[in-house]
Chains A and B, each alone.
Chain A
Amino acid sequence: MSYLELLKLASPEAIVTLTALVVLAIGVASGRGTVVAGVSPAKPQESAAGTAASTVVCTLVAVAGLIVAITAIVMLPPNADLFRGMLVISPLNSLFKIVCLVLALLTILLASRETSNYGEYLAIILLAAIGLLLLVGSEELLMIFIGLELTGLSLYLMTAFDKADIRSAEAGLKYFLFGSTASAFTLFGLSLIYGITGTTSFSAIADKLNTQMLSPLLFAGIAMTLVGFAFKIAAAPFHLWAPDAYQGAPVSSAAFIASGSKVASFVVLGKIMLVGFSPIHGSADWHAMVVGWSPVLAMLAAFSILLGNLVALVQTNLRRLLAYSAVAHAGYTLLGLIAGGREGFGATLFYTTIYAFTLLGAFGVVALVRRETGGDDLQNFAGLSARSPLLAGCMAVFMLSLAGLPPLAGFFGKFYLFSVAFAAGASHGLLWLVVVALFGSLISLYYYLIVLKLIFQTQNAEKFTASPIAHSVLPRMTIALAAAIVLCLGIAPQFLVSRILAALP
């Protein structure tokens, strides 16, 4: 294989890398200018204008790069396999590469001018996006670990990026400490699996495991691998970083952590479990549990759903509330993987995708309200509908979709997930999980409605600034776009479902 062909197949990653470098260069160049202007306050206006211009250029370059990368993905051949699974191009991988890049794109649009050193910030988002591409595009354990680390390190930095806010630093540190521990577990688990099977490629692992009994060592390896992913998707009890990170990080970082990183993690988790470890699926049926990874995931799911929803009930900060609800949603999403099979994986992928768009939009609203009112406690949202009907309407779409009400995408997603889980297993053995999930949805409706009640009740709104929220057009349009996606995928889910199912082997 020639290098040229290799470059062609890896062109999306290469394009995003180049874009990241260019953005970084622009950022660094303009940043030096700012420092100079800082020591000589003679021409502050000029330097401010220069920074603004460089911000716009950075954003434009990043957006253009991502669009080119998406085009490149579309142009790739439908199937290719490099170095025994290190870089695999398949319809599924390409679809989710596109989803990840779109999420990164929306994050960049939302982030406009959120922090200082904007060029560096964008470059880190792009680096995280490369990590996601590697995660999604690989079917080999080592490469996946590299992807995990690249994403993780970028996200730690993004979390701690707000130098003016001590909570951002705290969140970054917590995220880093938990994350690196989880990575260590994953790496250890992967090494055990490699030791047992002698290979790191998914399909080869599956072939080996087909002839092997489930030994305690193998089970330990799988469980340790799961720890790292449970951390990534914020499933309880590995969720402890999430509330702090969601609350302390710059809002766009939190949005990216909750959307892009989660989608990619679910794609990889699904592929590892359903392809690599498929011979030791086990069974999570109520009366007939069989040892394997699915009972472990079932425990994680049930625990996440109950804990996330119950703790979210008492939150007074919207970002913390979203964090705990994210824990619960990770639990719902796992149902599809536990059910297994093509249908189950499809349901999980659909749900995690629409969830990512929903949360991205919700965080967008939070960002705008935070800029306006200086905080993101629930009280800051009181009377939002009088101040900005558009944002209030979009927030209603996001919250109701999270609660799972029609005609929004969350409703269809839950229906799909739960029906798949119900159908799986002999004699509806997963009914218990479906009941737990439905019970969790019932609880969650309460706190989502509380948020909406605050937003739409205007009697007490006079206490807060009654001024309409007037802000840059770009974030608003991004939020409206996310709301439109959530609504359209609710009315016409076929659009995404058919693509996912067609991409699944």
Chain B
Amino acid sequence: MEILKTSALSIGYENKTVVSDINVTLNEGDIIALVGPNGAGKSTLFKTFSTHIKPVGGMIELFGKNLMSYSPKERARLLGIVLTERPDDMFLKVFDVVATGRYPYTGMFGKLSENDENEINVSLELVGVNHLIDRVFNTLSDGEKQKVMIAKAIAQNTPVIMLDEPTAFLDYPSKIELFSLLKKLAKEQKKAILFSSHDLELLLRYTDNLWIIAKNQPFACGQSSELLKNGIIKQYFGLKDADNQYLMNEIKY
């Protein structure tokens, strides 16, 4: 099922278009990696999808309706984000962080119902950090923090989750673990997942589809293996022949 669709989307800031003519769709159960060098516009695309900034041109449809026409409250129940930014408060507990994911569903004073508390526990369990529930968020490791933020997005119970560089600051095993977690969410929870990353080799191995943003080149998207075979990745990342061959051999198994 088609969840999010862009047509002739241009992103950027008031006087400066960063990327133009983006035509992509995000379907239920999709897990898509957004790649590209720093400064090419990955964060700008995330900010546009999360409506922090307005599109410069074109259209974003969420469930067939213009993304900008939803109220902030409605949008909060449809699209959840995980950023590289982390809350920095001396007493904020893991439970409190994940509980914010339930706020779009609570009343004026944010009182959590039994169902809300249940959702919080389930989300923490799903990412495997329920033992951290009473810890102060600030005292966690980078990997644990990342998981808690993902639990927040799961508790938010949105059909779309977008993650900005979720593998940054993680060690190798944690990266692999994170990829399989995202895959599990996409397959079991039928969520549409978009995330950005620099770990090209891992992406080619663990994700099916890529969106590529590069400076001065058109926006590209497609199956990871196709993009590798037809030389798009080589071209966009300026890879040498040997490196490209290495990647193609890696992907085979």
A associates with B: no
